């Protein structure tokens, strides 16, 4: 769950890598570092974001690669920061992934007298590579076989040669007029010819030449960059920009869906399992309600991290996996199990070039545009939109949506939402309870996650009727309970509000911040979640937090 980026070419490689890592910083920002070639590799490292790195190298080098880290092995300190260099200084490398047998290898190397200076599995890779014998190419082939787990690696040799290997974790090469670029995320790359590495690929780059050392035919395809998506424009943070981008993302997704024969996919199946993690799982819960209650399919949702496929999958059973990045490790793991049991996968993702996009039997691409803030906003809304669209399309063969009206309604709605007074009430709270029923409860799971991850406030989402079965003990005169009621069925909520008020607590109905009654019922969940997204964003500002980069988190969870 880190970002890696490299450059070999005629430009200032250090600056190219620094720029590239800026586009990848959403993947991790605990620490960062760049290795650049100057008669051997030299390294600059820093704790925290790229702002803490030197903005230029001591020399103008034409070879460099770097890393922005989300800590998995070893705490955040300078010794654990990438790049890592081998004990004999022959190799320097950066790594995204997890080496499962690192501890065993490390003990064996220590017994041989090999020194270690970090707690990372990455230094284990570097030192293991230096202890292997034979030609470099053969040593890297053997390294690949010895390592267990997931990895994408840029390996620099003291001669200036660069080697690339990967297993599970993504890695891409791009050729352009000014050089060769390497990145763990294709969206950070410029215009040029793109090759996405496959597992077992071993590639060497020497003097601007790309050489396949494995039995690989490198087939490049044209890649057009969308680098403008990395600019914030008039907004102070990506998160706010992305909330305001939601209507356009939904419009683009609609036009994409209209070109796909979605009904043809679903006519082959009558049983569905919806899988995702975090925000994507919350969209699955909405999808389950749509597909089971509206369309009357047999549907269940499951957290990908808690799902084991251990028996034969029926032919009429479709697994729908939702992943913003298409690189979510837990989703990839369960997808592999599904494929092993001859199951079929429909992937809903925002990244058409992702690992899971290549694994899936069917794909629906959300057209939300690049999302750089760690907290998902517009991608969640487009995922929910996809499920609403699918359910209506299956239910009504002549279904047509006035997408311009929906987009315009959303644009006006977002601009009108005022949350300042509520934000001032919530910003100093250390806990919040959120209550609702049916589909509103599924929405509140996502709302509570936004407040937890961005504002560090402990949130308890629950069915309104369950409050009195234990959690009412938490209510006192300082308590604020947020309620959501998009169905306008107030019977149960009114009873619960009375119970809270009688104990000195305050209930705030978020759906009353702005009238949602006139909006299409099937798309109302999109309208309902946006006030919570804005609430979490503005609480973060009041608390002096960076909403784009919450602590301990990263955008794309590519490790289990």
- Contact call for residues 325 and 370 (beta carbons, < 8 A): no
Query: Choosing from 407, 450, 497, 555, which is the catalytic residue?
Result: 555
H or E, element range at 110? helix 102-111
* Burial label, 468 (beta-carbon count in 10 A; 0-12, 13-18, 19+): middle
- 531 contact partners, CB below 8 Å, separation of at least 6: 417, 419, 510, 513, 514
Q: Can you tell me whether residue 317 is helix, strand or coil? A: strand
- Contact call for residues 250 and 385 (beta carbons, < 8 A): yes
Buried/exposed code over 380-405 (b: 16+ C-beta within 10 A; e: otherwise): bbbbbbbbbbbbbbbeeeeeebebee
Q: Can you tell me whether residue 446 is helix, strand or coil? A: helix
Rounded Cα gap, residues 403 and 29, in angstroms: 38
Rounded Cα gap, residues 155 and 376, in angstroms: 32
Residue at token pair 């006139």: 518
To the query of whether residue 555 is one of the catalytic residues in this protein, the response is yes
As a whole number of Å, the CA-based R_g of the chain is 25
To the query of whether residue 56 is one of the catalytic residues in this protein, the response is no
Query: Choosing from 2, 19, 277, 331, which is the catalytic residue?
Result: 2
Angle at 277 between CA 76 and CA 6, to 5 degrees: 50
Structure tokens at 273: 């399992």
- Contact call for residues 237 and 243 (beta carbons, < 8 A): no
* DSSP string for residues in 264-309: HHHTT-SEEEEEE-THHHHHHHHHHHIIIIIS--EEEEEEGGG---
* DSSP string for residues in 181-224: EEESSGGG--SEEEEEPPTT-EEEEETTEEEE-SS-----EEE-
Rounded Cα gap, residues 318 and 299, in angstroms: 10
Structure tokens at 390: 């699918």
Residue at token pair 């890695």: 171
Q: What is the DSSP letter of 503?
A: T
Rounded Cα gap, residues 158 and 39, in angstroms: 8
* DSSP string for residues in 15-51: HHHHHHHHHHGGG--SEEEEEEESSSEEEEEEESSGG
Q: What is the DSSP letter of 86?
A: -
- Contact call for residues 325 and 556 (beta carbons, < 8 A): yes
Catalytic residues: 2, 555
């Amino acid at each position: 769950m880190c970002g890696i980026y490299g450059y070999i070419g005629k430009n200032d490689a250090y600056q190219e890598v620094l720029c590239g890592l800026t586009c990848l910083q959403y993947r991790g920002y605990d620490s960062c570092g760049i290795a650049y070639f100057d008669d051997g590799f030299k390294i600059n490292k820093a704790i925290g974001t790229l702002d803490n790195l030197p903005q230029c190298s001591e020399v103008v080098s034409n070879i460099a690669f770097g890393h922005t880290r989300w800590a998995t092995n070893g705490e955040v300190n300078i010794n654990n920061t990438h790049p890592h260099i081998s004990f004999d200084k022959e190799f320097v490398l950066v790594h995204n992934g997890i080496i499962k047998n690192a501890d065993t290898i490390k003990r064996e190397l220590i017994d041989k007298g090999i020194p270690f200076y970090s707690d990372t599995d990455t230094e284990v890779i570097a030192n293991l590579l230096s202890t292997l014998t034979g030609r470099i190419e053969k040593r890297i082939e053997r390294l690949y076989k010895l390592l267990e787990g997931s990895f994408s690696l840029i390996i620099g040799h003291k001669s200036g040669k660069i080697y690339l290997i990967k297993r599970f974790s993504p890695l891409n090469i791009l050729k352009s007029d000014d050089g060769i670029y390497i990145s763990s995320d294709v969206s950070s790359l410029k215009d040029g010819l793109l090759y996405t590495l496959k597992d077992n690929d071993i590639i060497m780059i020497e003097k601007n030449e790309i050489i396949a050392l494995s039995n690989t035919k490198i087939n490049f395809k044209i890649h057009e960059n969308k680098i403008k998506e990395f600019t914030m424009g008039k907004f102070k943070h990506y998160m706010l920009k992305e909330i305001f981008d939601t209507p356009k993302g939904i419009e683009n997704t609609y036009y994409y869906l209209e070109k796909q024969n979605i009904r043809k996919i679903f006519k082959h199946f009558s049983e569905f399992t919806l899988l995702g993690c975090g925000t994507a799982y919350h969209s699955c819960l909405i999808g389950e309600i749509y597909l089971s209650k509206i369309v009357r399919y047999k549907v269940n949702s499951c957290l990908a991290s808690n799902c084991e496929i251990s028996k034969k999958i029926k032919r009429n059973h479709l697994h729908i996996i939702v992943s913003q990045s298409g690189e979510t490790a837990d989703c990839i793991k369960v997808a592999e199990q599904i494929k092993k049991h001859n199951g079929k996968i429909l992937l809903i993702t925002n990244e058409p070039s992702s690992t899971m996009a290549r694994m899936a039997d069917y794909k629906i691409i959300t057209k939300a545009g690049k999302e750089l803030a760690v907290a998902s906003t517009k991608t969640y809304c487009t995922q929910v939109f996809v499920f609403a669209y699918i359910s209506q399309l299956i239910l009504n063969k002549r279904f047509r949506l006035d997408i311009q009206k929906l987009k315009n309604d959303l644009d006006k709605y977002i601009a009108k939402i005022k949350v300042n007074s509520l934000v001032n009430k919530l910003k100093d709270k250390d806990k919040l309870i959120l209550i609702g029923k049916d589909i509103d409860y599924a929405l509140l799971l996502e709302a509570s996650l936004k407040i937890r991850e961005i504002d560090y406030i402990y949130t308890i989402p629950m069915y309104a009727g369950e409050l009195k079965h234990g959690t009412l003990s938490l209510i006192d005169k300082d308590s604020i309970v947020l309620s959501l009621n998009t169905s306008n069925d107030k019977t149960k909520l009114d009873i619960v509000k009375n119970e809270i008020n009688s104990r000195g607590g305050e209930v705030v109905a978020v759906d009353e911040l702005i009238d949602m009654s006139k909006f299409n019922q099937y798309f109302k969940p999109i309208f309902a979640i946006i006030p919570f997204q804005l609430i979490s964003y503005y609480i973060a500002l009041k608390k002096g937090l960076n909403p784009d980069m919450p602590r301990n988190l990263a955008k794309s969870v590519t490790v289990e």
